Amino acid sequence: MQPTKLKIHQPNSDAELQTTGGFLKLIKIILGFVKPYLKWIIVGGTLFFLAANFRKHWQEISEIEITSTGWMYLAVALVVTLFAHAWSAWVWLGIVKEFKQPVRPRWGLQLYLITNIAKYLPGNIWHFYGRIVAMKDSGVALEAAALSVLLEPLMMATAALGVALVSYRSPYWILQILALIVLGIGIHPIILNPILRFLEKSKFKKKLSELPEKPACQLDHYPFRPLLGEVGFILLRWSGFMFVLLAFQPVHFNQISLLLGAYSFSWLLGLLIPGAPGGLGVFEAMALALLSHQFSAPILLSVITFYRLVTIIAETVGALLAKLDQRFLDHSHPIT
């Protein structure tokens, strides 16, 4: 009797490749279809989440009263938030100087505050674009202008993540230290310059066709000052949030670290997640999720609503004051 021979068929690699290629093509088509609507999905989802919570706790929210002391705290929050935006403008001017551009500080402050309100427009890049165009028209090198507005949010994100890591109490403190070290290495010019160049091309190449193919300017040293400045900005914004919270209820000392970490992380996600103009909705949803186990939902919903209102008023007042100064008081050239 002849022994039975087993034939092992080799897998059809061409067929597998065809299947994989077809699957990837399908994913690409789906992503291409969803991408234009992604920002609206994100904004819509976060706003729906907030609206559902408001509806659920509306009765308790309507019973909350703000005392005269509470209104005083809200006024302080407005002043602190306005100062935070002015501080952010000074930090950005420091970044512009990193690229050796002689921008006059008063003009730079006006430009930053006036364009800042444009971040609430769909797309979330028009405040950046406005600064680049204004600096270019005033004689600032186009690439330096583009790099300065790209480096600023990167420094903000690094500062916010660093503050969140430092303030978060965890038994895995070694991992936190390692994360901070990685974060610090990540903004070294050797790593940061290629990232800035990539972002410059991907974000502004279509709108700013005059950008050079080869880099004409870049960071020459570690951006220590801008990073410290952005840490100060995050702390100032958090202080404004704290004053709004104090308008509704007292805060215990042992809650400060939690509040700082939750605020920094929520603010970071509001900055990074695409499709949320000015972090609208994303910040509020994350703050509500992270702090709901420490504070009641009606109080938190009231706080995040008033904080957003305070922020928008502060940005509007800052833009208005800068515009009035630019029109009636300051007529000198933007370049020193």
DSSP characters for 53-122? HHHHTHHHHHT----HHHHHHHHHHHHHHHHHHHHHHHHHHHHHHHTT--B-HHHHHHHHHHHHGGGGST
CA dist 117 to 177, 261, 310, Å? 36, 26, 13
Higher pLDDT, 187 or 155: 155
- Bridge partner list, 335: 103
- Residue 259 three-state SS: helix
Q: Is the pLDDT of residue 194 over 90?
A: no
**Phi/psi-derived region of residue 140, left when phi > 0, alpha when psi is between -120 and 50, beta in every other case:** beta
- Residue 229, pLDDT score: 96
Confidence of residue 202 (pLDDT cuts 50, 70, 90): low
Confidence of residue 142 (pLDDT cuts 50, 70, 90): confident
Most confident residue range from 166-180, 236-250, 321-335:
236-250
The whole-number average pLDDT for the span 23-44 is: 58
With the CA atoms of 299, 272, 168 and 249 taken in that order, what torsion angle do they form, in degrees rounded to the nearest 10?
A: -20
Taking the CA atoms of 188, 190, 193 and 195 in sequence, report the sign of the dihedral they define.
negative
What are the residue ranges spanned by the domains of the chain?
A: 68-329
- Residue 29, pLDDT score: 64
Q: Minimum mean pLDDT among 16-20, 24-28, 127-131, 169-173: which range?
A: 16-20
Confidence of residue 178 (pLDDT cuts 50, 70, 90): confident
Q: Is the pLDDT of residue 122 over 60?
A: yes
Higher pLDDT, 70 or 3: 70
Residues near 270 by beta carbon (within 8 Å), at least 6 away in sequence? 276, 278, 279, 280, 282, 283, 286
- Residue 17, pLDDT score: 45
pLDDT per residue as tens digits for the range 63-92:
788 899 999 999 999 999 999 999 999 999
Q: Are 80 and 239 in contact (CB under 8 A)?
A: yes
- Residue 201, pLDDT score: 66
State what percent of residues in the chain have pLDDT above 70. 72
pLDDT per residue as tens digits for the range 290-326:
998 889 988 999 999 999 999 999 999 999 999 999 8
pLDDT per residue as tens digits for the range 43-57:
566 666 667 766 767
Higher pLDDT, 213 or 81: 81
d(CA 189, CA 218): 8
